[in-house]
Chain A
Amino acid sequence: MSTTLRRKPGKRGHAASEASTVEPRDADGADDTKALPAVAAAENGWFRPSAGGWFARAAAWVLLLWLILAVPANVLSPFDFGVSDINLAIAAVIFAIIGLSLNVLIGYAGQLSLGHQAFVGIGAFASAYVVTNLGLGFWFGVVVAAGFGAVQALALGAVSLRVTGLYFALVSLAYGTFAENSLFAVSEITGGEGGKPADRPAGFAEDQMYYFLCLAFLVLVLWLDWRLTRSKGGRALQALRENPRVAASYGIDVRRYTLLAFVVSGTFAGIGGALMAHHQQIIVPGIFDFQLALIFVVMTVVGGLRNRIGVVIGSAFFAGLGEGGGSEGGGFLERTIGLPAEFTGIVIGPFLLLIVITLLPGGIGQLIGPVKDWMLGKRFDRNAGKLKEVEVSDVRA
């Protein structure tokens, strides 16, 4: 290994690809005393870019911020960002929040949820109920939605402590279907077929303003997610996913941290649901079906598990596929091969999923990894973003 490692010192990502060569060398491990001083320093890839490098990075950042902040507001922009476009942008942001919610569950806790539409839906109707029936404010509605999301996630999380993997996925599927057919059928809660009105808060009634409100929530969720992964709890979750038995033997409370992941995921989903309800202003129960749950899973995995930016981009992309019914983008397949816009996600998704599973385990996050690192001030490295996960070298095999 020592020779192969010295060949390209400082390259990120090569460590993972080298993992297979590490295993068989147990026997001669003794003579490998020479450390790799270059690796530790260069591991981070920090360096001082040239003036041109700084300029290019700054330009990329300005372009990105312009695209996110200025274009939707029709400020400093040659484009005419219409009603359907801004609706698409709002949906993209809301889907990103939901994607991050599912990322906590699948990516951090390693539990596949096929019933996430129920989490989102219950959040949506909780907030709509608070605002319309109780006459309380939007902000209170969001808090209640987040609370409902957390509580139901806690209940499902309690199940996941006993039933894991594929079986838990089935339980969550059953839970989603149960919510769909029972809770969402109660017209007291959902307003029946006609839906339940959900007014936007004062000052954010306009589409543009609501977009920025959703964006603020996305930033909040991203920050919470970042805090979660950086904290000791995040490390504990990672250890649990890799090996719960060993993690337990070091005193990590498996129960508590699995439930923590569920609660965080449920909270995010509740927030996403509330924003969705007030986005559409009249929320109908029909949209929270199993198909939506599948899209949620696909967009998260295609985006790249455990990769925040990847998940956001993947979710936004699938939001565009589903929501862009009237606009030019989503209507493309409808006009060419006659595929209705609401099915594009479910048709294109599996293809992308196949690509991700076979060729690109890090999803979109892996794809944009080099650019992301470059924008953060590191050297451009086309290997950046590749999955750093390595297999356990279990010699008993």
Chain B
Amino acid sequence: MALLHVEGLVVGYGQFPVLHGVDFTVQEGEVCVLLGLNGAGKTTTVSTIAGLLRPQSGRVHFAGRDLGHKSPSARVSAGISLCPEGRRVFPGLTVRQNLKLGAWTRRKSSAVVRDQMSLVLDYFPRLSERSGQLAGTLSGGEQQMLAVGRALMSRPKLLLIDEASLGLSPTVARVVWEVTSRIKADGTTVLMVEQNAGALPFADRALIMEKGTLVYTGVGDEVQQVNLREAYLGA
């Protein structure tokens, strides 16, 4: 079943349309990567799915339901969680406090928060070593792990990761990408936004965006063909 179905999405900032009708689906239990160059509309797409932007037209269906004008918090409760671009951890709060904030919609149940926290710290052992440290003092890679972990704290059905590799060395970016397979195995569908084609081997499916439209949808190994990368990266 399609967990996420985006239909004819048109989004713009003021007068400027950025997305000109984007359609795609994400199946339950897959890791999907949305690739594209700068300004292709990737972040706009995930921000709209997370409810931070209002589409001018088009629909977002999640788990068979039209999300309509639901607020971001309602979408988190419904099971969509966004790990924003540029990490955006709360620098003045500790790692543990950051994680707890991620579980905001689940705050009534301390058992869920505790379970989820130990799961996240298991994904990223580095975070558990630094759980008492202020997030602003973490390295870029650790902040990215924290941002992903924080997004996982609400126990989402769909995790949106916006540019995990931004500003990270290939080694650290790989650590983050590798975790997506474990996240998938634990039952959360992942939609990654990437500029970096290095994320392709970690994804079951790739969507490629160009100038606000989807130009290619590939499955499995097809996307790993060198010629496709060249086509996408251009000359």
Which residues of A pack against B, CB within 8 Å? 1, 15-16, 18-19, 22-23, 25-30, 32-33, 35-36, 39-40, 43, 232, 235-236, 238-239, 242-243, 245-253, 388-396
- B136–A251 contact, CB under 8 A? no
**Known contacts A33-B126, A249-B72, A392-B88; A235 and B93 CB within 8 A of each other:** yes
Give Cα A391–Cα B102 distance, bound, in whole angstroms: 20
- B134–A15 contact, CB under 8 A? yes
- Interface CB pairs A-B, < 8 A, 9: A26-B168, A35-B130, A232-B100, A235-B93, A250-B150, A390-B136, A392-B88, A392-B91, A395-B86
Name B132's closest neighbour in chain A (CB-CB).
Answer: A40
Chain A residues within an 8 Å CB radius of B143: 393
Most buried by B among A35, A253, A394: A394
- B107–A396 contact, CB under 8 A? no
Distance from A227 Cβ to chain B, minimum over Cβ atoms (Å): 16
- B140–A246 contact, CB under 8 A? no
- B97–A235 contact, CB under 8 A? yes
- B82–A249 contact, CB under 8 A? yes
Give Cα A41–Cα B130 distance, bound, in whole angstroms: 11
Q: For this complex, into which size category does the number of interface residues on chain B fall?
A: 35 or more
Chain B residues within an 8 Å CB radius of A246: 84, 88, 90
Give Cα A36–Cα B107 distance, bound, in whole angstroms: 30
Chain B residues within an 8 Å CB radius of A235: 93, 97, 100-101
Within the complex, which residue of B101, B130, B137 is in contact with A390, where a contact is CB–CB below 8 Å?
B137
- A29–B133 contact, CB under 8 A? no
**Known contacts A236-B101, A388-B134; A243 and B88 CB within 8 A of each other:** yes
Q: Does B218 contact A (CB under 8 A)?
A: no
Chain A residues within an 8 Å CB radius of B129: 35-36
Name B160's closest neighbour in chain A (CB-CB).
Answer: A249
Interface 0/1 of B118-153, CB less than 8 Å to A:
000000001001111110111111110000001100
- B72–A238 contact, CB under 8 A? no
- A248–B139 contact, CB under 8 A? no
Chain A residues within an 8 Å CB radius of B91: 19, 242, 389-393
Q: Does B214 contact A (CB under 8 A)?
A: no
Give Cα A387–Cα B129 distance, bound, in whole angstroms: 23
Q: Does B167 contact A (CB under 8 A)?
A: yes
- B139–A22 contact, CB under 8 A? yes
- B154–A390 contact, CB under 8 A? no
- B126–A26 contact, CB under 8 A? no
Q: Does B92 contact A (CB under 8 A)?
A: yes
Most buried by A among B50, B90, B134, B150: B90
- A251–B73 contact, CB under 8 A? yes
Give Cα A242–Cα B136 distance, bound, in whole angstroms: 11
Chain A residues within an 8 Å CB radius of B132: 39-40, 43
- A29–B168 contact, CB under 8 A? yes
- A32–B137 contact, CB under 8 A? no
Give Cα A26–Cα B170 distance, bound, in whole angstroms: 11
Name B166's closest neighbour in chain A (CB-CB).
Answer: A395
Give Cα A225–Cα B81 distance, bound, in whole angstroms: 31
Q: Which 7 A-B pairs have the closest CB atoms?
A: A390-B136, A395-B167, A26-B140, A35-B129, A29-B141, A251-B76, A251-B73
Within the complex, which residue of B102, B136, B154, B169 is in contact with A30, where a contact is CB–CB below 8 Å?
B169
**Known contacts A26-B168, A249-B84, A253-B73; A395 and B140 CB within 8 A of each other:** yes
Give Cα A371–Cα B137 distance, bound, in whole angstroms: 26
Give Cα A28–Cα B167 distance, bound, in whole angstroms: 11
Give Cα A47–Cα B86 distance, bound, in whole angstroms: 39
Give Cα A18–Cα B136 distance, bound, in whole angstroms: 10
Within the complex, which residue of B76, B100, B168 is in contact with A249, where a contact is CB–CB below 8 Å?
B76
- A243–B141 contact, CB under 8 A? no
Name A43's closest neighbour in chain B (CB-CB).
Answer: B132
Interface 0/1 of B77-110, CB less than 8 Å to A:
1000110101111111100010011101101000
- A15–B137 contact, CB under 8 A? yes
Q: Does B52 contact A (CB under 8 A)?
A: yes
Give Cα A18–Cα B105 distance, bound, in whole angstroms: 33
**Known contacts A30-B171, A43-B132; A393 and B76 CB within 8 A of each other:** no
Q: A19-B137, A251-B154, A390-B92 are in contact. List 17 more A-B contacts (CB 8 A).
A: A15-B133, A15-B134, A26-B141, A26-B168, A27-B169, A29-B139, A30-B171, A32-B139, A40-B131, A250-B105, A250-B154, A251-B104, A252-B73, A252-B101, A390-B91, A393-B136, A394-B87
**Known contacts A235-B97, A251-B73; A396 and B167 CB within 8 A of each other:** yes
**Known contacts A29-B172, A250-B154, A392-B136; A239 and B166 CB within 8 A of each other:** no
Give Cα A145–Cα B37 distance, bound, in whole angstroms: 58
